[in-house]
Amino acid sequence: MSDLLIHNGRLITWNTPNELLEDSALLLRDGRILDLGPSAALRERYPDAERLDARGQLVMPGNICAHTHFYGAFARGMAIPGPAPKDFPDILVRLWWRLDRALLDVDVKYSALVSLVDAIKHGTTTLVDHHASPNAIDSSLDQIADAVEMAGVRTALCYEVTDRNGPDGAQAGISENVRFLHSVRERGSDLLAGTFGLHASLSLSDKTLERCVAAAKGLDSGFHIHVAEHEADEYDSRERYGLRVVDRLAAAGILGPRSIVAHCVHIDGREMELLRETGTWVTHQPRSNMNNAVGAAPVESLLRLGIPVCLGNDGMGNAMWGEWKEAYFMHKQAHRDPRRMNGMDVVQMAVHNNAALARVFWPNLPLGRLAVGAAADVILVDYHATTPLSAGNLPWHIIFGFESSMVTTTIVGGRVLMRDRQLLTLDEAAITARSRELAAKVWERYNALD
C-alpha cells in the first residue's frame, strides 16, 4: 500500500485536549498515521505520496460503535403479526426471537454486508457486533468475518448463547464462540477480533453460565451480554436465583475489564458499584431504548462513578451521530431538565470511552484519534460551519449541525473504502438487490414460525 497524503483539511484530533488544526495534513503509511502537520510542510516532505485533497473538509477519526446487531438489518420494514407488542418482553418473543430463527447462512452474510455498507457510508469504521441465528449457528461468525474482510471495516464478533432453544442450541452457541476465538487468531487480520457472547440473564441458567465461563478459560476473552434492558430481566433473576442481575453475573465470573454489558437501564446503586469494582464496560443505546420504551439508563451516574460507559446503536443503523443526538436529547426529556446530559458527556462515551473499549480488542492499535502512530482510520466530513467552530464547541456542532450524509470519504487502516461518496470495496447495488430477495424469504419463514 502506497503512502497517502490527505491535505488541505481541518483536522479534529480527539486527543486530550482536543485540537482543531487548520489547513493541515496527514501522511498514512502501512495502516498508521506516520506524520501530521501543516499541509504545505507535508506536501514538501512527501512529494511522491498519493494525494487526497480534503478541500477544506473536516478530517477526523472514524466513528466507533460499541454494541450492534448486524442481523437486525433484515427487520427493517417488517410487520409483526397481530396487535402491536405491549412491552419489551413481547417484542423479544414476537420479533427478535422469531427473526433470528428464520435466518440461514446466506442471510447472516448479507445482513452483515448491508450493515457494513451502512457503516462505510456513514463514517463508522469500528463496530462490536452481537450475533444470533439459532438455525444457522455453526460457522455463522465466519460468514460475518468474510463480509468484514471484504468490506474493510474493523469488527469484534461474538455469538449469543441462550437457553431458549434448548440445551443443544446453548452448547452450539458456546462451541461457535470458542471455535471463532481460535479461528480469529489463525486469520491474523487487523480487522477482526472476538469475544464470548451471551444473551441475557433471563435466558441463561446457572448451569449454562458455568459452562460458558469454563469454556472461555484460556481464551483471553471477556463476555458480551445484555443487562437489565427491561425490568423483566431483574424480576426474573430475583425470583429464580435470589439475586439482581449484576450480582448474579458477578458471582458467576462474567464481569471484568474485558466484558461488556449492554443497556443497564434498570440496575440499582449496588449493581453500579459491582460494575465499577470489576472494571466492566457498559454500553448505552438511546435510540433502541426509546423505540422499545424501556426507559433511560442512569448514564450520568454511571459516568460520575467512573464506570466506562460507551455508545452503541443496538442495530438501529450505523450513523453514529444520530446516536449522539438522541443521547443528548433523551435524558433531558426523560428528566424534564435541559441541564441533563452535557455534550461533553456524549463525547466521553462516543469518542474516548468507545476508543478505549476498541483498544481492548486491538491493544496494539491506537484507535479513535489523530496522532502519529495511531491507526489510519479516518473520515472526511463536508461540514462548513456557519457559526464559529472550535475544539471547545465542536460537540454542539456535531449534535445540532452534523448529518451522516456529510461523510464523503472513509478510510480504515490506510485503505480507502469510500471516496467522494463512492464505495470502493463493496458493490452497494448488488448487495441491496440480493439482500431484498433474501429478506423477503426470511420474512416468509418468520411468518410461518409459531
Q: Is the pLDDT of residue 286 over 90?
A: yes
CA angle at 395 for the pair 393 and 306, rounded to the nearest 5°: 115
Q: Is the pLDDT of residue 252 over 90?
A: yes
Per residue in 2-42, pLDDT tens?
Answer: 899 999 999 999 999 999 999 999 999 999 999 999 999 99
Per residue in 70-123, pLDDT tens?
Answer: 999 999 999 899 999 999 999 999 999 999 999 999 999 999 999 999 999 999
Query: What is the percentage of the chain residues whose pLDDT exceeds 70?
Result: 100
CA atoms of 81 and 83, how far apart (whole Å): 7
pLDDT, position 5: 98
Q: Is the pLDDT of residue 375 over 90?
A: yes
- Report the DSSP pairing between strands 20-29 and 63-68: unpaired
Query: Which residue's entry shows cell 453475573?
Result: 249
Per residue in 188-223, pLDDT tens?
Answer: 899 999 999 999 999 999 999 999 999 999 999 999
Q: Is the pLDDT of residue 384 over 80?
A: yes
CA angle at 448 for the pair 446 and 449, rounded to the nearest 5°: 70
Q: In the predicted model, what is the mean pLDDT of the chain?
A: 97
Closest by CA to 28, choosing from 56, 57, 59, is 59
84 CB burial (10 A radius; 0-12, 13-18, 19+): exposed
Provide the total of helices (H) and of strands (E) in the chain, helices listed first: 17, 18
Please say whether the beta carbons of 25 and 6 come within 8 A. Answer: yes
Q: Is the pLDDT of residue 1 over 70?
A: no
Domains defined for the chain, CATH in brackets = 4-61+367-422 (2.30.40.10), 63-361 (3.20.20.140)
Q: Is the pLDDT of residue 450 over 80?
A: no
Per residue in 319-361, pLDDT tens?
Answer: 999 999 999 999 999 999 999 999 999 999 999 999 999 999 9
Alpha carbon distances (Å) from 432 to 16, 115, 213, 261, 276 = 40, 11, 39, 32, 43
Work out the average pLDDT over 400-404. Answer: 95
pTM of this structure? 0.97
Bridge partner list, 155: 127, 192
Work out the average pLDDT over 284-308. Answer: 98
Please say whether the beta carbons of 65 and 126 come within 8 A. Answer: yes
- The contacts of residue 192 (CB under 8 Å, 6+ apart) are 145, 148, 149, 154, 155, 156, 157, 184
pLDDT, position 118: 98
